[in-house]
């Protein structure tokens, strides 16, 4: 491995930051689960 590749900074891919608010991410995840469950039951897919 060359010195240039060893010292290169990792490329950001646009994902969530590691130091973001965990509780907000947790709440939004559960809201998404509830919305999908409501959609599935309303469409009669279950």
5 belongs to a structural domain: no
Instruction: Name the more confident of 1 and 9.
Output: 9
Domain that holds residue 33: 22-46
Q: d(Cα 32, Cα 15) in Å, to the nearest integer?
A: 18
**Model confidence band, residue 34 (pLDDT cutoffs 50, 70, 90):** very high
> What is the token pair recorded at 6?
């060893």
Mean pLDDT of 5-34: 80
As for how many domains the chain has, the answer is 1
> Which residue blocks in the chain are alpha helix, DSSP H?
3-7, 22-42
Calculate the average pLDDT of the chain: 81
12 belongs to a structural domain: no
Q: Any residues with CB less than 8 A from the CB of 46 and at least 6 apart, and which?
A: 40
38 belongs to a structural domain: yes
30 belongs to a structural domain: yes
The region, left, alpha or beta by phi > 0 then psi within -120 to 50, assigned to residue 14 is: left
Mean pLDDT of 10-31: 81
46 belongs to a structural domain: yes
2 belongs to a structural domain: no
């Amino acid at each position: 491995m060359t010195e240039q590749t060893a010292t290169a900074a990792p490329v950001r891919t646009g994902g969530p930051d590691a130091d973001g608010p965990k509780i907000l991410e947790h709440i939004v995840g559960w809201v998404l689960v509830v919305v999908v469950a409501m959609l599935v039951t309303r469409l009669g897919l279950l």
